[in-house]
Amino acid sequence: VFVWADRLKRDVSDPHIYDTPERRLLRERLVSDLENIVAMEGEVKASKEFMALWIPWYEKESKESGVHGKAFDGYNSRRGAHLIKLSMIRSTSQKDGRFRLGKNDFLWAKNTLEQVEQWMPRAMSHISRDELESVRLDVMSIIRDEGEVTLTDMCKEFVGDVTVDEMQNRILKALVRIGFCEQSRVGKDFTYIYNEDKAPRRMRG
């Protein structure tokens, strides 16, 4: 799993400038967690609650979601393995001495994948021939930065790149479906409001 951002948060000439007591404490805790995880031994098992979520997700939902585009076929085929590994990381970090995957481990791992996957195509956009995908990523950035846009605004912004039908039914409707934004009707126009709770943390303004 890789995370991509479309802008630099800050220029750092000297990392020690931002080496605050809080960051040092966080680093110590992270290192401690990793050391504890490395030292663990034993077989990791899945609970019934985990399997009740895992089986339908793996057999159906994971095939219907993922990252669109031929460049990500290999990644999509490994999504299940990524979800299992993320679940194991969360489970072992709980420090309760159990090697057992639970419901919350699955939900956290699934949510983490979905958040990161929203932005994966941007990292490959320079080799992609899918113009609609490129526009979708630009629309996501605008909605995130502006907080609220209208269908008319987006159609004007990308006139010549996509049709009104493509903008409304193939791009914006898909973003509403995954929870990236919410749609409301104002008169004859549609408004799309950024849903920060569903956005990847690294992509929040």
Q: For position 105, what pLDDT does the model report?
A: 94
The last residue of a domain, from among 90, 117, 144:
117
Residue bearing tokens 């990392």 = 15
The last residue of a domain, from among 59, 92, 117:
117
Looking at the 3D structure of the chain, how many domains does it have?
A: 2
Residue 63, in any domain of the structure: yes
d(CA 98, CA 100): 6
Q: For position 122, what pLDDT does the model report?
A: 65
Per residue in 36-57, pLDDT (tens digit) is 777 777 788 899 999 999 999 9
Residues in the chain with pLDDT values less than 50: 126-129, 201-205
Q: Are residues 163 and 100 in the same domain?
A: no
Residue 22, in any domain of the structure: no
**At 171, which amino acid appears?**
I
Q: Are residues 76 and 132 in the same domain?
A: no
Q: Are residues 167 and 107 in the same domain?
A: no
Whether residue 128 contacts residue 69, with contact meaning beta carbons closer than 8 Å, is answered with yes
Q: What share of the chain is helix, strand, coil (3-state, %, to 5)?
A: 65, 10, 30
Q: For position 128, what pLDDT does the model report?
A: 45
The last residue of a domain, from among 56, 90, 117:
117
Domain limits for position 109: 43-117
